Amino acid sequence: MTKENSLLSEIMSTNLITVDVSELVEEALRLMIKFDVGSVIVTDSEKPIGIITERDITRASLRGDSLLKIPVRSLMSRPIQSVPSNMEIWKAFETMLRLGVRRLPVVDNEKLVGVVTEKDLTRWVLHVFYGPNLPEEIRTLVANPQIEALTGMARCPSCGNFQDECICVRTAVSPE
């Protein structure tokens, strides 16, 4: 993998997590937690129209919004900023820095085909930096972009889901 002429299609994630524009924020949040991602692409008839991120949800929660029952269209960032899969990686890097975003949907002919994230770019930078002399401990990080879900986690007493799938908000009960 070299710096010159490397394309997004070589590094983008193709396991896409999407949510329909008609869904509630609760569903988007459940998907983010279940798949351990920081965003979901919002679609309308399978066409990408926006993105909802952890940052969007956090900022709205500080305003005191009742988030879980509002539609994702009320919270998503739009218009969606996207790039084509044949864009050179360094240009996508520049685009993300200029836009101040941590992920970019990859769209070809109005069809969502991938997403490029800061993690994808970090792995690419490591490949370029080390070249063929990639140390083994770095090689395993770069070669395995998927974070495996933890098993054996405790279940939430409120909803019964494993902790990584639970979005229950628990309040501390003060002792009497």
Does residue 131 sit within a domain? Answer: yes
Q: Which domain holds residue 99?
A: 8-165
**The CATH number of the domain where 108 resides is what?**
3.10.580.10
> Does residue 12 sit within a domain?
yes
* Angle between helix 118-130 and helix 136-143 axes, rounded to 10 deg: 150
pTM for this predicted structure: 0.71
Label residue 22 left, alpha or beta by phi (over 0 means left) and psi (-120 to 50 means alpha): alpha
Q: Has residue 169 got a pLDDT over 80?
A: no
Tell me if 78 is assigned to some domain. yes
Residue 1 belongs to some domain of the structure: no
Q: How confident is the model at residue 175 (pLDDT cuts 50, 70, 90)?
A: very low
Predicted pLDDT of residue 58: 82
Q: Does 171 map to a domain?
A: no
Has residue 95 got a pLDDT over 70?
yes
In a domain, 40, yes or no: yes
Residue 172, domain member (yes or no): no
Residue % of the chain over a pLDDT of 70: 76
Mean pLDDT of the chain: 78
Q: How many domains does the chain have?
A: 1
- Answer whether residue 170 is part of any domain: no
The per-residue DSSP string of 45-86 comes to: TTEEEEEEEHHHHHHHHHTT---TTSBGGGT-B-SPP-B-TT
